[in-house]
Amino acid sequence: MVDELVDEGLPLDPGWRAAFEAVPRHVFLPWLFEQLDNGSWKLITDSDPEWLRSVYRNRVAVTQLDGDESRRESALAGPVHGTPTCSSSEPAIMAIMLAALDVCTGNSVLEIGAGTGYNAALMCHRLGEHRVTTVDVDPANAARAAEHLAACGFHPTCIAADGARGYPVNAPYDRVLGTCSVSTIPLAWLEQTAPGGHIVTTLNRQLGAGLVKLTPDGERRATGRVLAEDGRFMPLRAHRGPKASDLVDRLRGAQARQRPTDLSATRLLRPAERFEFFAGLSLPHVMAWSGAHGETWLAHPDGSWARYSHHSVRQGGPRQLWSIAEGAHEEWLALERPPRERFGLTVSPAGQEFWLDRPDSPHRWPLD
């Protein structure tokens, strides 16, 4: 697994490479769920022949469904359906985020989202267990993470707590790492980060998600950048929204006139497309869902919707979502197609907003 990370050119300095080589991922994954083609989840345990091979793939490993521990027991009898609520992140994105933390010897770190404990173990190996604090809102996850960490000889602060509030007991921290996505940056994270420290997290946005790195100034204000690397994580439980499929189910019978469009669903929604991040600035809280026969939906909780298929679109509700996307694409072209790394973010009690190139840019968009 580590050789694969190195071959892909991921930013593993000697300290992080040593951590990945030394910390056994399988200790943190005595079971995992793998999704089948029909959308159901198959449970793989340490008694299955494919277990180790699955554990050491460079991919996310889902460990909990629907926040319900009993789903694992049900899966012993056969595949089950559910929504992932805990996982061990893909090692590649873990390496990217740990590198972005830019840690130094002696730094203390607060991790939001203990999960299995594997990421905290990597930080314990690099920084020392007494400099790592990890919290998880789910008591079962926190307790299991502590057990896994102890099995590897690590005893950091590992407790059940609401990550949106940080953990003031051990503050201030030199670094804060959010391994779950957030709709807005919790101000408690700024307050608990030492001035000049860094916050690295991901954004809970189906359109325009990704990694951000912020530097607080000690005055409840932080500025930073959107990172070039894309990253998508399960949301902080307090920041969850409705499911895209549920919104679409409520709107499925809606009718509207069809018209042609030059904006494809691929250009709008594919994270590898440069436009996707910019589209998210103009379509906050909009969700996408792909159905059969090449059909793609956009939906918003206010009842706005658009249905794209084969270069044509129908739309309705309070706002014309596809028309907004088309306007955003024209603006993006006029701005010379900026990629995500040209954008920054300012956070303060007065508000949170993106900007293009510099904090005083005339081009600004609210985060929330």
Please give the pLDDT value at position 126. 97
Its pTM stands at: 0.89
Q: Which of 173, 135, 132, 175 is nearest to 155 (CA)?
A: 132
Sheet holding 312-316, edge to edge: 259-260, 312-316, 305-309, 296-299, 287-290
In this prediction, residue 236 carries a pLDDT of 57
pLDDT at 244: 56
Q: What is the mean pLDDT of each run of 10 residues along the chain (368 residues)?
A: 91 93 97 92 94 94 89 91 88 93 96 95 98 95 96 97 95 95 93 95 86 93 91 59 59 77 92 91 88 81 88 90 96 96 96 96 91
Quote the CA–CA distance of 35 and 80 in Å, as a whole number: 9
pLDDT at 146: 97
Task: Supply the residues annotated as catalytic.
Answer: 89
pLDDT of residue 343: 97
The residue ranges of every structural domain in the chain are: 22-88, 96-237, 242-334
Question: Domain 96-237 in CATH: superfamily?
Answer: Vaccinia Virus protein VP39 (3.40.50.150)
Helices (H), 168-289: 187-191, 244-251, 265-269, 275-282
- pLDDT score at 232: 66
Task: Tell me what pLDDT residue 290 has.
Answer: 80
